[in-house]
Amino acid sequence: MGADREARPRRLELLLIVSGIVALAQGVNGFAVPALPKLVDAVGGTAVTLGLAVGFYSIARMFVNIPAGLLSDRVGRRWVLVGGGLVTALGSTLSGAVTSVPMLLALRLVTGAGAAAAITAGFIAISDLSDTHNRARSLGVLQGWQFLSGVASPALGGFITEWFGMRVPFYVSGAGVAAVAVYGALRIPETRPARPSSSEVAAGRPDPFGALGQLLRNRNYMLVSGVVVALFFTRFGANQSVVPLFAYDRLGWSAGQLGLLYSGAAILNGLLILPSAHVSDRVGRKVAIVPAGLVAVAGLALLSVATAPWVFIMAYLLVTGANGFSGQAPIAYVGDNTGGANRGFATGLYRTFGDTAGVVGPIATTSLVTHGSYAAAFLATALLTLVAFGLFGLLASETAGRRRAPRAID
């Protein structure tokens, strides 16, 4: 018992450091949001350039998730996490000094790639440091850091841009990530299991093709991947694409009013982190995921018929609150269903499913708005969510809480 009590502060320190690296690596993009349009203009870019700069960051993340997971399985979580943080810092810092559009776009790729590596390795490390009894709460620490970063970084980036110029936010965010990554290199041990599987011993490295086959045959893993596709499709396709268009076009809102709505949703999600983690660990992952998905479906359906501002606000908060409540349970479920031998690859593939939906979602929903209606975009998102969460609820095994299966599936 004494050894366990001594280990708890050390474990909490590691969770905070890992979460700090991930949150700051992700927050680099938040810092850039207010400054990026001005920087694009300064180097002779156009509105299309701005779109490319935003898109290149996301595309880099989509393509780096799986390699980062594989590398975490091969060389260890620690160096991928720290290296990803340092690459993010380098990309952000050099972005502040760009003098041309090609330089800016290239460095946005570098920044996105570093962030993807840090985020993927961070999720894997926290899964290693936890078990089915505390995994969601451990991931809740990470989500709490991400919440603080998501709320604070755009505001700080805006103030720094206004007071010190458009290049300084890139330097400040880069220095912040670098400092925490270096500290992490000194304090974080390797969390990868010491004993590889028999296939890894034979090959001398993780086998991505064999792991891919196992994951594609793993019913639980594919079902939870469907959940993350629906979550990212909703987040980027509905919440960040169709909702602003609807607010400006149909309700006549200002940017300030929309910003208040987003801030309110962020605060709501922050308040739900601890209750969600408690339910996920103590009662079960499915209890945290499935009812929240059904609430999101109801909110999306309500958005499709919203004409009064108060109905729109209530429906939007239902959707974002429900998605926030189920936020860490799916990635905790991935950790439950994968062992150390292929956890890195499984996490990278899982995040790639989500990031792909984040790229496809805005294109699909805005196309539905253009060629159909706002209602069509919201209802299509609701249908996807209903199918994904419904199948998970009906077919997935429980891995935590009172009704957990006898063992996780490796």
pLDDT tens, position by position, 342-369: 777 888 888 889 888 888 888 888 889 8
Please tell me the predicted confidence (pLDDT) of residue 194. 64
Asked if residue 409 belongs to a domain, the reply is no
Contact 21, 118 (CB under 8 A): yes
Domain check: are 177 and 219 in the same one? no
Please tell me the predicted confidence (pLDDT) of residue 69. 86
Spell out, as residue ranges, where the chain has pLDDT lower than 50.
Answer: 1-4, 6, 197-204, 406-410
262 contact partners, CB below 8 Å, separation of at least 6: none
- Residue 301 CA, distance from chain mean position: 25
Please tell me the predicted confidence (pLDDT) of residue 3. 43
Q: Which residues of 272-292 are buried (b: 16+ CB within 10 A; e: fewer)?
A: bbeebbebbbbebbbbbbbbb
Count of domains for the chain:
2
Q: What is the CATH number of the domain that holds 42?
A: 1.20.1250.20
- Residue 194 CA, distance from chain mean position: 28
Please tell me the predicted confidence (pLDDT) of residue 299. 97
**pTM for the structure as a whole:** 0.75
Contact 15, 142 (CB under 8 A): yes
Domain check: are 60 and 169 in the same one? yes
Given 192, 220, 245, the domain boundary residue is 192
**Backbone dihedral region of 76: left (phi > 0), alpha (psi from -120 to 50 degrees) or beta?**
left
Taking CA atoms, 268 is separated from 177, 208, 324, in Å, by 27, 39, 8
Domain check: are 161 and 298 in the same one? no
Asked if residue 164 belongs to a domain, the reply is yes
Please tell me the predicted confidence (pLDDT) of residue 173. 92
Domain that holds residue 259: 211-403
Domain check: are 148 and 215 in the same one? no
Check the CA dihedral 263-269-272-274 and report its sign: negative
Euclidean distance between CA atoms 29 and 298, whole angstroms:
31
What backbone torsions phi and psi does residue 283 show, to the nearest 5 degrees?
A: -100, -45
Domain check: are 261 and 151 in the same one? no
